Every structure is written in structure tokens, then in C-alpha cells.
Amino acid sequence: MAEAAAVVAESLAGYRARAARAVLEQVVLPGEELLLPEQEDGEGPGGAGERPLRLNAGARSRRRVVCGPGLRRCGDRLLVTKCGRLRHKEPGSGNDGGVYWVDSQQKRVGDLIYGQFVVANKDMEPEMVCIDSCGRANGMGVIGQDGLLFKVTLGLIRRLLASDCEILQEVGKLYPLEIVFGMNGRIWVKAKTIQQTLILANILEACEHMTADQRKQIFSRLAES
């Protein structure tokens, strides 16, 4: 959010257009203007300045650039029409500038999302984002179709998130896995096979009611098998 605020301040204060190549894979906001590679030589990558006089300006070949979703051609620049990350696909021919588009990563009903709340107050509308303070996804966003989602108590979530949690260390020794803990009591886990995923989910659910000795016995049996 801090990066987005800085972008808005720069855009409104100086009306400076940024080079499209310099902001690839970064968050762009509606109203921003982006310079294409053919305009960067004249205006510079940082913003709109005075263009130097070119005697052979008419001889320069104009590269064809395709505007995808979230972008609109505005004169010799690209105008951003929706918030998201700027993407680019390499051209298929030498005289083609490729395709630029804004990936808004719109979510559908039923998608499993890993994110964080920036506003969580009972008197205000909750606000959830899938980027960190630097504007990067950092692993957040829509989680894939594979894996298993299940619910546990908040007490178990706090135990699993502790830096010295023995349960998580022992689970990691069984199978290679991906796991996400949510402070809403949800756990998403994925292993190489469905059977391994189900075993891990059952172990995590049962760990809350087992003693340390019982847990070690179960892990030793699984390790042997």
C-alpha cells in the first residue's frame, strides 16, 4: 500500500509518465501513463521531458504494440484503466512490440485466497490485500486447486506458528509438503500424493489432543512405513 501511495503522489505531483519496461511485474494504478520503448529515447525512462530535435524522426519505424485488458492507447502512450500488475508478452516478429496488459488477478467465488487484512476493525469495513508493504505478492494470492483445506482451533494454529513448534518440525520430516496457516483457524496442506496429504491433515487435526509421547509413537510408525 505504501508503494501504491507513492505512485499516486508522483503521478499527481509531476504528471510524469514512467517507462513501461521499468514497471513490468509491478503494480500500476488507473490514470497512470506509460511510455513505450520507442518514446523512451526521446523523453527518458524517468518521465516526460523536452524531446531533442531529430532530423531523421520521420524515418524511425513505429513498432506495433497491442494493448490488452486494463490498458488503452492514448496518443503515443499507454493509459492504465484498472489496478493490477503490468505484464508483457514478447513479440512474435521483429517489427512487433508485443502485448502489454494489466493483470488484476480478479477472484472468483469459491477461490481459496491467502492474504492479509490491513483493516480489521469491528466498526469499519474489513480490507484484505494479497500484497505486502512493498507491493509484492510474496506467495499470497489464489492458492491452487490441489491440496486440502480443513479447520482447526485457534489454539492449535498459535502452537503451530510458534518458532519452536516440534509438531511442524516432525511433520516436515515425513513428506515434502506445502502448508499455509490462517489466523482464522484454516490450514491448507499439499503433499506429493493425495494419500500423503490426507495423512498429514489427519495428524495435524489429532495433534491437539495427543501428548508428546503419543505423537512420537505415531511419527515413528509412519517413518517406518
Please state, as a whole number, how many other Cβ atoms lie within 10 Å of the Cβ of residue 180: 16
- What does the alpha-carbon distance between residue 215 and residue 169 come to, in Å, rounded to a whole number? 12
Q: Does position 77 have pLDDT exceeding 70, yes or no?
A: yes
pLDDT digits (tens, 9 = 90+) for 107-126: 666 778 888 888 878 888 88
Residue 195 confidence class, pLDDT cut points 50, 70, 90: very high
Q: Which three cell numbers stand for residue 212?
A: 508428546
- Residue at grid coordinates 477461490: 111
Q: State the Cα–Cα distance between residues 23 and 34, nearest whole angstrom.
A: 9
pLDDT in tens, 200-214: 999 999 988 888 888
With 60 as the cut, is the pLDDT of residue 155 above it? yes
Q: How confident is the model at residue 152 (pLDDT cuts 50, 70, 90)?
A: very high
- Which is higher by pLDDT, 213 or 129? 213
Q: How many CB atoms lie within 10 A of CB 209?
A: 8
pLDDT at residue number 164: 86
Q: Which helix (H) or strand (E) holds 166?
A: helix 166-174
Put simply, whether the predicted model's pTM sits higher than 0.85 gets the answer no
E runs forming strands in 71-158:
71-74, 77-80, 84-89, 96-103, 113-114, 116-119, 127-129, 141-142, 148-151
